[in-house]
Structure 1
Amino acid sequence: MSEFSTAQVHAGEARDAAHGARVTPIYLTAGFEFDSYAQAEGRFGGDEPGYTYSRSGNPTTAALERRVAALEGGREAIAVGSGQAALTVALLGLVQAGDHILSAQSVYSGTRGLFENGLRRLGIEIEFVDDPTDLTEWRRRVRPNTRALFGESIANPGTDILDIAGVAAVAREAGVPFIVDNTLATPYLLRPGDHGADIVVHSASKYLGGHGSTLGGVVVDQGSYDWASSPFAHLTGPDEWLEGASYVEAHGAAAYTAFSRSVVASLFGPVLSPLNAFLIQQGVETLSLRVQRQSDTALAVARWLEAQPEVSRVDYAGLESHPSYPLALRYLPKGQGAVLGFTLAGGSVAAERFYDSVELFSRMTHIGDVRSLILHPASTTHAHLRREVREETGIGDGLLRLSIGLEDPDDLIADLARGIAAVATADATVADAVVAAAGR
Structure 2
Amino acid sequence: MSTDTPRNGFTTTILHSDRRHDVEHGAVHKPMHTSSEFAYDDARELAAVFQGKAGFTYSRQGTPTTTALERKLSQMEGGNGTVTFSTGMAALTGIFASLLRHGDHLVCSQFIFGNTNSLLGTLMTLGVEITFVDATDVELVRAAVRPDTKMVFVETIANPGTQVADLAAIGALCREQNLVYVIDGTLTSPWLFRGKDVGAAFVMNSLSKYIGGHGHALGGSVTDTGVYDWQGNDRIYEAYRKGPSTSWGLTQIKKKGLRDMGGTLAAEPAHRIAVGAETLSLRLEKHCTNAMALARFLQAHPGVSKVSYPGLEDHPQHARAKALFDDRYGGLLGVELADGIDCFDFLNALRVVILATHLGDTRTLALPAAHTIYYEMGGERRKQMGIGDSFLRVSVGIEDEADLIHDFDQALNRCMGR
Residue 3 of structure 2 corresponds to none
Q: Give per-residue Cα distances to partners, 1:203-252, cap 9 Å, x unaligned.
A: 000001100001000000101011002232x34xx3xxx4xxxx234453
Deviations 1:338-386 (A, max 9, x none): 0101101226x52111111001101000000011101110110011122
- Could you tell which deviates more after superposition, 290-299 or 331-340? 331-340
Question: Any residues of structure 2 matched to 1:17-32 within 5 Å, and which?
Answer: 18-32=24-38
Tell whether 2:220 aligns with 1:227: no
Shift of 1:2: 4.2
**How many angstroms apart in 2 are the aligned matches of 1:13 and 1:166?**
39
Contact 1:168 1:197 (C-alpha < 8 Å) held by counterparts: yes
Seen in structure 2, the aligned counterparts of structure 1 residues 249 and 289 have a Cα distance that, compared at 3 Å, is: same
Q: Deviations over 1:122-169 (max 9, x none)?
A: 11111100x222222111110111111010001100111122111111
Q: Could you say what secondary structure the match of 1:168 adopts?
A: helix
Per the alignment, residue 175 of structure 2 pairs with 172
Tell me, what secondary structure is at the counterpart of 1:268? coil
After TM superposition, list the pairs within 5 Å mapping 1:80-229 onto structure 2: 80-116=85-121, 118-129=122-133, 131-229=134-232
2:311 is equivalent to residue 282 of structure 1: no
State yes or no: 1:396 paired with 2:399. no
Amino acid paired to 2:293: A
Distance change in 2, residues 1:27/1:417 (3 Å): same
Q: Which amino acid aligns with 2:366?
A: I
Query: Normalising by structure 1, what TM-score?
Result: 0.91
The residue aligned with 2:245 is 252
Q: What TM-score results when the alignment is normalised by the length of structure 2?
A: 0.95
Contact 1:12 1:70 in 2 (8 A): no
The SS at the match of 2:151 is strand
Match of 1:43 among 36, 41, 49: 49
Structure 1 contact 298–404 (Cα < 8 Å) conserved:
yes
For 1:311, the aligned partner's letter is V
Q: 1 CA distance for matches of 2:400 and 2:8?
A: 31
- Contact 2:18–2:29 (CA<8 Å) still a contact in 1? no
AA aligned to 1:323 is P
Cα–Cα, structure 1 residues 370 and 18, in superposed 2: closer, same or farther, change >3 Å? closer
Give the alignment of 1:34-73 within 5 angstroms.
34-47=40-53, 49-73=54-78
Q: Could you list the runs of 4 or more consecutive aligned residues of structure 1 that deviate by over 6 angstroms after TM superposition?
A: none
Match in the other structure for 1:322 = 315
Question: Is the contact between residue 181 and residue 200 of structure 2 (CA under 8 Å) also seen in structure 1?
Answer: yes
Q: Distance in 2 between matches of 1:72 and 1:10?
A: 16
Contact 1:148–1:178 (CA under 8 A) maintained in structure 2: yes
Amino acid at match of 1:390: R
Shift of 1:14: 5.1
Give the greater-gyration-radius structure (CA). 1
Structure 1 unmatched ranges of 5 or more: 429-440
Aligned-residue offset at 1:331:
0.6
Between Structure 1 and Structure 2, how many residues are aligned?
412
Give 2:348's aligned amino acid: D
Q: Secondary structure of the equivalent of 1:93?
A: helix
Q: Is the 8 A contact 2:136 2:163 kept in 1?
A: no
Which of 5, 12, 27 aligns to 1:6? It is 12
How far does residue 36 in structure 1 lie from its aligned partner after superposition? 2.5
Q: Please list the CA deviations of residues 152-191 of structure 1 after superposition, one character each: whole Å capped at 9, or x if unmatched.
A: 0011001111221111111112211110000010111111
The one-letter amino acid of 2:358's match is: H
Q: CA deviation at 1:422?
A: 2.1
Q: What percentage of residue pairs aligned between the two structures are identical?
A: 38
Gaps of at least 5 residues in structure 2 are 1-6
